[in-house]
């Protein structure tokens, strides 16, 4: 990723010194930057502007900038009157539970398959890889019916957060990612710990987990983001509006609120993912490549 004067990439240093190249490529790059600012940042800035602009101004002059002042009340009205505050909290609770479930399954499962390696690990690995290739839609209907009529407990899980938390844990992608990381930890340390008398639990808690902070961070970030983005599944299993997350509520509140308040609600829904991205930018941009490499 390092790039300085001396590096020889696609365009050599000698070529950079040519005026035509510098202007041509430089111009294209400037154009790209402009396109990225307008395309990537523009819509979000527009949303931020719309969130604090009186509805009437946004409707009549969508590209105008505060012709008749600001309306910070949009944000307040969205948060309390439209109950975005409550939906925000619901989203946090759902994301936290989904995160915990994914992390528990991926770390314990990855530890068993990578470090303890029972004889049947191959079978489980094969089954996990199979699920990676099954499109999610195949699971939709039977999963829904399972939540409505769960076997053994005979009590519908509809409107219970467990209906979102538990299926979230079944992410084969996470398990494979964590298992691969565990596979690359030095075996000598495990052996040394075993000789010193550490059992599997001690090995897991005191050695494997502390050494795996980087991958656990990546999995956590993507788990929270995925949960924040999720729409269809919570829409199906959480029918009580008071329990629904933001993504499910936003389409429904659109009809009942003025545009300014609605834009404010959407802006609030974006805040956590954007803040997370800005803080953990490196993990996102590296993890994106990581995911692609794994899929390939």
Of the pair 75, 259, the CB lying nearest another protein is at: 259
Of the pair 124, 211, the CB lying nearest another protein is at: 124
C-alpha to C-alpha distance for 119 and 112, rounded to whole angstroms: 11
Q: How far is the CB of 36 from another protein (least distance, A)?
A: 4
Of the pair 210, 289, the CB lying nearest another protein is at: 289
Q: How far is the CB of 193 from another protein (least distance, A)?
A: 14
C-alpha to C-alpha distance for 128 and 108, rounded to whole angstroms: 14
C-alpha to C-alpha distance for 271 and 283, rounded to whole angstroms: 18
Of the pair 149, 187, the CB lying nearest another protein is at: 149
Of the pair 71, 236, the CB lying nearest another protein is at: 236
Q: How far is the CB of 76 from another protein (least distance, A)?
A: 20
Helix (H, G, I), strand (E, B) or coil at 281: helix
- Chain position carrying tokens 């829409």: 235
Q: How far is the CB of 204 from another protein (least distance, A)?
A: 7
Of the pair 141, 192, the CB lying nearest another protein is at: 141
Q: How far is the CB of 185 from another protein (least distance, A)?
A: 16
DSSP assignment of the chain equals: ----TT--SSS-HHHHHSHHHHHHHHHHHHHHHHHHIIIIIHHHHHHHHHHTS-HHHHHH-TT---TT---THHHHHHHHTT-HHHHHHHHHHHHHHHHHHHHHHHHHHHHIIIII--TTHHHHHHHHHHHHHS-THHHHHHHHHHHHS-TTT-S--TT-THHHHHHHH--HHHHHHHHHHHHTS-HHHHHHHHHTT--HHHIIIIIIHHHTHHHHHHHHHHHHHHHHH--HHHHHH---GGG--HHHHHHHHHTTS-HHHHHHHHHHHHHHHHHHHHHTHHHHHHHHHHHHHHH-
Q: How far is the CB of 243 from another protein (least distance, A)?
A: 17
Q: How far is the CB of 106 from another protein (least distance, A)?
A: 8
Q: How far is the CB of 184 from another protein (least distance, A)?
A: 18
């Amino acid at each position: 990723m390092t790039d300085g004067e001396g590096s020889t990439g696609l365009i050599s240093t000698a070529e950079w010194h040519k005026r035509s190249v510098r202007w041509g490529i430089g111009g294209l790059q400037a154009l790209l930057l402009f396109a990225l600012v307008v395309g990537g940042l523009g819509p979000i800035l527009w949303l931020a502007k719309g969130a604090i602009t009186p509805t009437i101004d946004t409707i009549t002059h969508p590209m105008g900038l505060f012709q008749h002042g600001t309306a910070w009340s949009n944000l307040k009205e969205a948060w309390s009157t439209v109950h975005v505050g409550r939906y925000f909290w619901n989203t946090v609770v759902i994301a936290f539970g989904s995160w915990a479930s994914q992390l528990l399954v991926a770390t314990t499962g990855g530890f068993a398959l990578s470090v303890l390696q029972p004889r049947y690990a191959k079978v489980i690995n094969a089954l996990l890889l199979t699920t990676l290739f099954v499109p999610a839609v195949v699971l939709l209907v039977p999963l829904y019916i399972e939540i409505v009529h769960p076997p053994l407990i005979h009590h519908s899980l509809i409107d219970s957060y467990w209906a979102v938390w538990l299926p979230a844990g079944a992410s084969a992608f996470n398990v494979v990612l964590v298992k691969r990381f565990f596979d690359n930890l030095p075996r000598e340390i495990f052996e040394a710990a075993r000789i010193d008398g550490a059992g599997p639990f001690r090995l897991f808690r005191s050695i494997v987990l502390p050494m795996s902070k980087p991958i656990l961070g990546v999995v956590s970030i993507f788990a929270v983001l995925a949960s924040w983005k999720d729409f269809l599944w919570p829409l199906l299993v959480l029918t009580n509006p008071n329990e629904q997350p933001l993504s499910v509520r936003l389409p429904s509140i659109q009809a009942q609120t003025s545009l300014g308040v609605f834009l404010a609600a959407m802006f609030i829904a974006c805040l956590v993912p954007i803040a997370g991205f800005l803080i953990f930018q490196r993990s996102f941009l590296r993890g994106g490549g990581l995911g692609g490499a794994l899929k390939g």
